[in-house]
Structure 1
Amino acid sequence: MRNIAIVSAAIITFLMVGCNDKPESEMGHNENSSTSEKMKNNGDAHVEEGEHNEEEEGEEGVVILTMQQAETIGLETKTLEERNLGNNIKVTGMLELFPQDQANISPFVGGNVSSIKVVPGDNVRKGQVLAYIEHPDIIAMQQEYQEKNDELVFLKQDFERKQTLYDKGVSSGKEFQMAQSQYRSTTSSVNGLRSQLRLLGINPDKVAEGQIYSAVPITTPISGYVDEVMISLGDYVAQQSKMFSISDNSKIYVNFKVYEKDIKQIKKGQQIHFSTASRPDELLKATVRSVGKTFNTDPKALEVLADIENKDKDLLPGMYVEGRIVQGEKMVLAVPEDAIVKNGEKTFIFVQDNDKKEENKLRFNMVPVNIGISDLGYVEISLPSGISKDITIVTKGAYILSSEMIKSELGDDD
C-alpha cells in the first residue's frame, strides 16, 4: 500500500506541475499584457481574465488534462454501451477439441526423413503431404509387388488352361487343383501388397508398369493447423512413431464445470455467455450440447459440453474461460469495474466533456451514478436525470483522475 501511495503521489505531482507551472517569461508577458489592457480599457479586460481563470481552475467535479498527461497515466475512454447482465450461474471451463478433430500422424513403415514440407502453425488441407520418408524396405516391397504381379499373369493363364483340360477330362484333378491353389495364393499376395502400397501413398498401377518410388509421402487425414513437428531431416522414424500433430480449431468446444447445486438449472440447447483472457471485453456465446452423467471428484462437479463458433479460428484448445448461464438476463447500461470510483457511500464515473473543447486538452466531469448487478467484470449503472446515454466514459485511470481532483481542491483551499 505504501508503494502504491508513492506511485500515485508521483503521478499526481506530475499532473499538477504540468497543469500549473508556467515559464517566468510567459508570466511576465501576461502581466505586461494585462497592465496594458487595463490602461487601455479602464481595467475591464483584467477583471474578465481573472474571472475566467477562477472558473477553469476551481470548477467543482472537473479535471482538465493535456493529451501528454493522459497518455502518461494510461488513460482510456470508451463510449457507454448496453450489455446483457443478469443473475446467473457462474461457471469456469476449458476450450477443447473432440477426438475426431485432432490427429497424431505416424508412418505405416519405418524410414528416414528425406523432406519436411510444413512448420508449426501452417494451415493444411486433408490429404496434403507433410513429409517424405525413404528406406530400402520400401523399394523391396515394390519389387516384390512387381514380381508377384508378373507371376500372377502366368499362373492365371496356367490355371485357365488346366481348368479347360480338366473339364474335357484330359488333365487330372490333382494338376488342376495345384494350379488353382497357386493362382489363388499369388492373387492374395498381390492384393495384399497392392493395399500396402496404397496405404503408403504409392500408386500400385505405376509400380506394375515398372516405376519404383524411393520415398513415400506422409499425409494428413484432416484439415487444420500444424501444432507440432517432432522430426528433423535424416531422422529414422520407426513404424507408428509420432511425426506430426494436427488440429482443426474450427470445431472447438467448451468443457464447463458445473457444481451439483446448479445442475438442475442446466438444459440441452441452453445458451452460455463466456469470455477468455485474450478477449476479456468480448462476450462469446456457446450452446449446451450435452450434460454429463458422472460427477468428477476434484472438484465435485459435472461436465457440461457446449458448442461454439470459431470462424476466425483465434480460439485455441487449452484456453481457460469464465462463463455464465443465462438466468433472468436483461439489457442495461454497464461500465467496466475499473470505471467506478467510490467515495464513501457514493459512486461516480468520469465523463469526457465534448462540449467545452480546448486545443491539446481533455476535460472530464465527475458524475454520480447508482450501481446494480455485477457480471463478468461489468457493473450496471443508472445515470442521473438529464444525462444522455451518448457519452464517453473513462474506463481506465478513473481513480487517478479522482486523486488529481482531490489534490486540486486541497490546493485551492490553501
Structure 2
Amino acid sequence: MFAAVLLAGCGVSQSKPDNKPAETVAANAVSMFTLKKDVFSASLRIPGELVAYQQVDLYAKVNSFVKKLYVDVGSNVSAGQLLATMEAPEMNAQLAGAESRLRSQEAVYLASKANYDRLYQTSQTPGTVSQNDLDLAFAKQQSDYAQQEAAKAAYREIADTRNYLEIRAPFDGVISTRNVSAGAYVGPSGKGSEFPLFSLQQQRKLRLVVAVPEAYTAYLAGEKAISFTVRSMPGRAFNGTINRLSGALDSRLRSQRIEMDVQNNDKTLLPGMVAEVNIPLNNKDSVFVVPTTAVVSSTEKVFVVRLKNGTAEWVNVRRGRDAEGKTEIFGDLEAGDILVERANDEIRNGSKITQKK
C-alpha cells in the first residue's frame, strides 16, 4: 500500500500518443525563367599587328661599290624611281670584250653566208659545183650563224647584268631602312653585304594581322567589318574589313590567321603598331541563351538548375560565349524548360523549389 501511495504522490502517469502530423520541409522560393532560343551576338577583343601591305629588302644583284645614293630614310618613292647607282669597272671591260666577240662573229657569219650564196648561184649551171661542196658551205653558214647567236646572248647577258648597277623601287612606298653609304662594297645577300641596301614599305595601305583562337574560328567570315584602336591614339577608332582567312590552324598556336586591309592614306598608322581589334561574332543559328547567373561552374561540372515536378534537377551543360550578362549553353534541354535564374550549388539536386512570386 505504501508503494501505491508513493506512486500516486509522485504523479507518475502513462503518456498518451501524439496525434500531431509530422513537420514538412518548406520549398525554397527562387526566381525562374522560361528557356528559349535566340540569336546570340557577341564580339571578340583580341590584339593584332599592323604590317606594311608590301615590304621588300633591296640588295645589290652584283658585287660592286656604291656610287651614289638618291634617297634616305623616310623618303617617299614611286615605282621605278632610281634609288642608288653602283659601279663595277671590270664589268665595263667584260661588256667591251663581249661586244668585240659579237662583232667578230658577225663578220665570220657574213663571210660564210656570202660564200654559200656564191656557190649556190654558181651551182645553177650544171657541173660547175659539186653537191658536196655546196653542202659543206651551207653547214659552215649554219654553224657560223649559231656562233653569232651565242655571242649575242653573251653580250645581252652582260648588258643586262650591268643594268643591275641601278637600284630602282619596285612599288610606291617609303624607305624605312638605309644600311649603306657611298663607297661601300655591296653584293648579293651573304656575299657582298650582310644587310640590304634599303628596306621599302608600302604604307598607304596596311594589313592588320590577327591570330584568332580555335574556339572562335567558326564565327569568322570574309567581308566582315571590324573596328580597332591603337595605343598611341586611344580615343580614335579605325575600321577595316576581313579580306583573307588562312583556312587552316597554326599547329603551334592553334589559331587561324586572318588579314584585314586598312586604308592609311594620311599615314597616321605605322607598320609594327599593336592594335586592339574588336571582331563581331554573330551566330546565324538560334541557340539557348540564359543569364550568366543561371550557369553554375563547380569543380566537377558545369550545370543549370531545372524545375521538374516541383524539385530541382541539375542538368549538365557546355558553356559557349559570354556577352553582356548572357551566356550560350548547350546540353539536354528543350525550349520551354523552367530554369533557376540565380543558381548555385546550394540548391541541391532533388530539393524542393518553387517559383518566387
Which secondary structure state, in structure 2, belongs to the residue aligned with residue 138 of structure 1? helix
Matched, 1:218 2:167: yes
CA contact (8 A) 2:78 2:173 kept: yes
Give the C-alpha shift of residue 276 in structure 1: 1.3
CA distance in 2, matches of 1:253, 1:319: 11
- CA change 1:87–1:227 in 2 (3 A) is same
Give the C-alpha shift of residue 271 in structure 1: 0.8
Match of 2:264 among 300, 310, 313: 310
Give the C-alpha shift of residue 195 in structure 1: 4.3
Which secondary structure state, in structure 2, belongs to the residue aligned with residue 249 of structure 1? strand
Matched, 1:93 2:48: yes
- Give a deviation string over 1:269-296, Cα, whole Å, max 9, x none: 1011011122221111111112222223
Match of 2:182 among 229, 233, 247: 233
CA RMSD across the alignment: 2.6
Q: Which runs of 5+ in 1 are unaligned?
A: 1-85, 203-215, 329-371, 375-414
Runs of 4+ residues over 4 Å off in structure 1: none
CA contact (8 A) 2:98 2:154 kept: no
**What TM-score results when the alignment is normalised by the length of structure 2?**
0.58
- Give a deviation string over 1:100-147, Cα, whole Å, max 9, x none: x22222223211112111111111112222112112222112212331
CA distance in 2, matches of 1:153, 1:318: 57
Matches within 5 A, 1:113-262: 113-168=66-121, 169=123, 170=129, 171-201=133-163, 216-240=165-189, 241=193, 242-262=196-216
Larger radius of gyration: 2
Which secondary structure state, in structure 1, belongs to the residue aligned with residue 246 of structure 2? strand
CA contact (8 A) 1:127 1:222 kept: yes
CA distance in 2, matches of 1:128, 1:196: 23
Q: Percent identity?
A: 22
**What TM-score results when the alignment is normalised by the length of structure 1?**
0.51
CA distance in 2, matches of 1:297, 1:157: 66
Give the C-alpha shift of residue 220 in structure 1: 2.0
CA contact (8 A) 1:291 1:302 kept: yes
Give the C-alpha shift of residue 164 in structure 1: 1.1
Which secondary structure state, in structure 1, belongs to the residue aligned with residue 232 of structure 2? coil
CA distance in 2, matches of 1:222, 1:122: 13
Give the C-alpha shift of residue 373 in structure 1: 6.7
Give the C-alpha shift of residue 324 in structure 1: 0.7
Q: Which residue of 2 aligns with 1:290?
A: 244
CA contact (8 A) 1:103 1:247 kept: yes
CA contact (8 A) 1:125 1:222 kept: yes
2:44 maps to amino acid: I
Q: Which runs of 5+ in 2 are unaligned?
A: 1-40, 124-128, 283-322, 326-357
Higher helix share: 1
